[in-house]
A and B are shown apart, each in its own frame.
Chain A
Amino acid sequence: MADLTVIDDKAAWEARVDRLWAARPTRWRDAWHELTRNKLALGGSVIVAFFTLVAIVGPALAPYDYAKQVLSDTLLPPLTQGHLLGTDALGRDLLSRLLLGIRISMAVGLGTTAIALVVGTVAGMLAGYYRGWVDRIVGGFVELVWGFPLILIAVLLIGAIGPGLVGVVVAVGFVNWAGFARIVRGEVFALREKEFVASARALGKGDLDIMIRHLLPNVVGSALVMGSYYIAIAIIAEAGLSFIGMGAQPPLPSLGQMINEGSGYMLLNHWLSTIPGIVIVLLVLGLNVLGDGMRDVLDPRLKGTG
């Protein structure tokens, strides 16, 4: 799983938050303009938009039923007998499965990240704002989750609710919220010292009000950037769990499940695992590039630095 990388240095954090704050008045106004100008972001957006479109309409356009087995037409190579990408070991049309697989993988990525983003942002904001024991408790959970083996969480959840995608979403979401909490806490921790927070407080505004109106808009950018990375992380994590049999259950395909199913036929028809593999790489690449681009847009001074 990729991680927070560029932003794990606390000192760098502080500097960054200062810059963010300095850039504040123009940031959102110019964001769209910047986004369209930034080649990286544009490229990433195009890839992600393409896959999003495929995820939404793709399965409806699929030439065959994704679960339809034709046991007499198995392992056809790409471009044969009306199967653009060939068929899998059970004679199912690979293209139709791929289209649904993209939808499932993206849904898992979005679902886990949505959970992680909401939980992580709330926890991080509380920790950074109230500090003290709240911070210590949240920090404790973050460290606990950070070190908790995903496999253990997966086995537990899957044992409790049965193997399948719901378990995967909850398990991965359970781990990934910590990343958001860390980031948001760091930003809020520093932002709280800024004049605008002090003046808001002097005006008698409540904590909740300050957090929602003043702090949230300032951290949401970073959280969204992180979100783009974390969708990618979740897609890879789902693929990894599917690879060891804990993800999507038959006959549902996810990209990871397809690689898993295809890997046994690596020597006979490698397309079964290479095609979904390439799709995952492209999708994750698009999300990472988009994340980089968004970061540049929201924080122009960092442009091209990482």
Chain B
Amino acid sequence: MIERSSQTAVHELVSQYLDGGLSRRQFVKGAVAIGLSMTTVGALLAACSSSSPGTSATPKRGGTLKEGYDLDFSRLDPINTNWYDPAFYAVYESLVTNDPSGNYVPQIAESWNVSSDGLKATFKIRSGLKFQSGAPLDAAAIKAVYDGIADPKNGSPLGSIWVPVASTEAPDATTLVINLKHPYFDLFNIVKTGYWDIVNMAFRAQLGDKYGQQGVDGSGPFTLTEWVPGSHTSVKRWESYPGTVTPFIQNKAKPYLDGINWLTILDAPQRAIQIQNGEIDTLRGPAFQDISRLQSDSNLTVTKLKEWSGYFFSLNFKRSDLGFNDVNVRQALSHAIDRASIVKALLFEHGEPLYGPITSADKSYTKDVEQFNQFDVTKAKSMLGDAGWKAGSDGILTKNGKRFAFEMIIQAESFNQQLGSVIQAQLKTVGVDLKVSSLDRGTFFNKAFANPDSVMFFYLWPVPIDVVTLFVNSVNANGKGPNWGNAVVPQVDAAIAAWQSAANQDQLIAAGKQFQLACAEQLPFVPVINRDAFWVSRKRVHGWQPDQWNLYPYYNDVWLD
């Protein structure tokens, strides 16, 4: 971190550079002279060049940012939410977070170290922090959160990810210790996510089921004003925000914005129209068919990032009459899917085929998965033939008088419906009769847990392998968790165990590779595609920088012209 005295010097240097008073070379010289490392200089230069014209102007206080969002909002409770929404980045903070290059940087913890045996992680907590309610945010408060996630009573669906943690201790107000059962190298990746955001557990207990609905108590720079499901979430600046120590956030003090209003806009063309009309300032997730239109609008900046999550569908291992417990049948169906064409037609090339369980956005992605699941109708047909399926008079396969027909449930949403339609048509080419049923939210997940033939799903979390384990871990089968296909694959379970006990980066990468190959070959679910993440902003918005490593942008630096 930069010393306080040199910080002023950096500011001067940067503003001179931006004003055109310094050449790039002069700037680098000057920066090195005041003791900045070359990496920091590089980051500074990158930040300068990526910022839009006018950034050199001093940030203005005030105004409300209106951000369009392509999903509906869930309750703002880290421990039991459907998924976490952008507002989490405004009202909460985590122990650590990622900078735009993917390094772990301080947020609530100012520093940390891991014992040499890898069994103990000690975090130094910033002193004097408070929750928005005024309650102290100290090590004990954080321990309460982590214990809460581990406690099945709270129903955190992510409990199986937290298994390697033996206990959490708070010996004093500024020291938090996480004791591990075995080395768990991915710990930081977990605690940086929204599900491990720090919430005032006492307040949460007090509000009960209404926590995250009617009230929120975090330590982020904004406080919740209201959440109207299906419509909007709004927050306003927390006037007592103590500031941040996170290095890449330039505004160390209170945020510039008076407030933020996120609008849920489920209708695809409406999202594009609203940002083009200036009805909203920023937008997450424009429809793929509208991206080239937005890119050619000179009032807009379009940012494309890789997405962490993919679309997949399960095949219920209990349908042994269809051979879904037979890896050859699963592979045959997977070979019938023409992923590249789907990416071209539905995503307008803004995405990639998915051959394994995670996307290439992840550091531990291995290209070796691409040997599996390639589009090959002939192979698919011969594998199904080998499994004893023969084409009937209507072209649909039969075996022992049984037609190869099954039902896939999807959530009623236009992209899902299209993807479902395409999978249906492509499976038909190999003689499989797929019925696609789109269900509303109240029904979908209940059906998903009720032993369905097949579920199509899209998860949205930035820690791919950890999340994917939820869907394929055999402990989550049979209604215990979201392993809806009831997949029990020993190779996959073994890889999960290896991942969760990796002691160092090398072991982690090896386990990650093992996991990906096991999933790609054994197919506890069938991966389909991965789509890119798109962010759009109007030129009047400054300091709003979505990055690859955080699911949503931070709002501390955002200001409006």
Can you name the residue of chain B whose Cβ is closest to the Cβ of A264?
B268
Contacting pair A264 B438 (CB below 8 A)? no
| Interface members, chain B 404-431 (any A CB < 8 Å) | 412-414, 417-418, 420-422, 424-425
Residues of B with C-beta under 8 A to A155: 440
CA of A265 to CA of B345 in the docked complex: distance in angstroms? 13
The answer to whether the Cβ of A274 comes within 8 Å of any Cβ in the partner chain is no
Known: A89-B418, A267-B272. A249 touches B436 (CB 8 A): yes
Per DSSP, chain A at the interface is loop
Contacting pair A71 B422 (CB below 8 A)? yes
Residues of B with C-beta under 8 A to A245: 412-413, 417, 438, 440
Contacting pair A89 B289 (CB below 8 A)? yes
Of the candidates A91, A244, A245, A263, the one having the most CB atoms from chain B within 10 angstroms of its own CB is A245
CA of A260 to CA of B421 in the docked complex: distance in angstroms? 14
Chain A interfacial residues counted at CB < 8 A: 28
Residues of A with C-beta under 8 A to B207: none
Residues of B with C-beta under 8 A to A52: none
Can you name the residue of chain B whose Cβ is closest to the Cβ of A273?
B269
The answer to whether the Cβ of B338 comes within 8 Å of any Cβ in the partner chain is yes
Contacting pair B438 A71 (CB below 8 A)? no
Residues of A with C-beta under 8 A to B346: 89-90
The answer to whether the Cβ of B253 comes within 8 Å of any Cβ in the partner chain is no
CA of A110 to CA of B362 in the docked complex: distance in angstroms? 54
Shortest CB–CB separation between residue B430 and chain A, in angstroms?
Answer: 14
CA of A71 to CA of B342 in the docked complex: distance in angstroms? 7
Q: Across chains A and B, which 6 residue pairs bring their CB atoms closest together, nearest first?
A: A245-B412, A71-B341, A71-B345, A250-B421, A266-B269, A264-B268
Known: A72-B341, A155-B440, A163-B438. A267 touches B422 (CB 8 A): no
Partner of A90, one of B422, B436, B440: B422
Could you write out 7 A-B pairs with CB less than 8 Å apart?
A: A67-B425, A71-B342, A72-B341, A163-B412, A261-B418, A267-B272, A267-B273
Residues of B with C-beta under 8 A to A162: 437
Question: Which residues of B are in contact with A by a Cβ distance under 8 Å?
Answer: 267-269, 272-273, 287, 289-290, 293, 338, 341-342, 344-346, 412-414, 417-418, 420-422, 424-425, 435-440, 443
Q: A90-B418, A263-B267 are in contact. List 16 more A-B contacts (CB 8 A).
A: A69-B422, A89-B289, A89-B418, A90-B422, A163-B437, A163-B439, A245-B412, A250-B417, A250-B421, A251-B424, A264-B268, A264-B269, A265-B289, A267-B269, A267-B290, A268-B293
The answer to whether the Cβ of A38 comes within 8 Å of any Cβ in the partner chain is no
Of the candidates A68, A159, A261, A268, the one having the most CB atoms from chain B within 10 angstroms of its own CB is A268
Can you name the residue of chain A whose Cβ is closest to the Cβ of B293?
A267
Shortest CB–CB separation between residue B326 and chain A, in angstroms?
Answer: 27
Inter-chain contact total with CB atoms closer than 8 Å: 77
| Interface members, chain A 230-287 (any B CB < 8 Å) | 244-246, 249-251, 260-261, 263-268
Can you name the residue of chain A whose Cβ is closest to the Cβ of B290?
A267
CA of A162 to CA of B440 in the docked complex: distance in angstroms? 11
CA of A244 to CA of B345 in the docked complex: distance in angstroms? 23
Residues of B with C-beta under 8 A to A163: 412, 437-439
Residues of B with C-beta under 8 A to A90: 345-346, 418, 421-422, 425
Contacting pair B443 A159 (CB below 8 A)? yes
CA of A260 to CA of B418 in the docked complex: distance in angstroms? 11
Can you name the residue of chain B whose Cβ is closest to the Cβ of A265?
B289
Known: A71-B345, A89-B289. A249 touches B269 (CB 8 A): no
Residues of B with C-beta under 8 A to A266: 269
Shortest CB–CB separation between residue A52 and chain B, in angstroms?
Answer: 29
Contacting pair A249 B438 (CB below 8 A)? yes
Residues of A with C-beta under 8 A to B267: 263-264
Residues of A with C-beta under 8 A to B269: 263-267
Residues of A with C-beta under 8 A to B440: 155, 245
Contacting pair B420 A250 (CB below 8 A)? yes
CA of A91 to CA of B344 in the docked complex: distance in angstroms? 12
Contacting pair A89 B438 (CB below 8 A)? no
Can you name the residue of chain B whose Cβ is closest to the Cβ of A89?
B418
Of the candidates A68, A75, A264, the one having the most CB atoms from chain B within 10 angstroms of its own CB is A264
Shortest CB–CB separation between residue B450 and chain A, in angstroms?
Answer: 13
CA of A197 to CA of B46 in the docked complex: distance in angstroms? 93
Partner of B425, one of A69, A72, A159: A69
Shortest CB–CB separation between residue B190 and chain A, in angstroms?
Answer: 35
CA of A71 to CA of B345 in the docked complex: distance in angstroms? 6
CA of A159 to CA of B437 in the docked complex: distance in angstroms? 11
Contacting pair B414 A74 (CB below 8 A)? no
CA of A90 to CA of B415 in the docked complex: distance in angstroms? 11
CA of A245 to CA of B412 in the docked complex: distance in angstroms? 6
CA of A263 to CA of B271 in the docked complex: distance in angstroms? 13
Shortest CB–CB separation between residue B328 and chain A, in angstroms?
Answer: 26
Of the candidates B290, B344, B345, B413, the one having the most CB atoms from chain A within 10 angstroms of its own CB is B345
Known: A67-B425, A249-B438, A250-B420. A264 touches B345 (CB 8 A): no
Contacting pair A251 B289 (CB below 8 A)? no
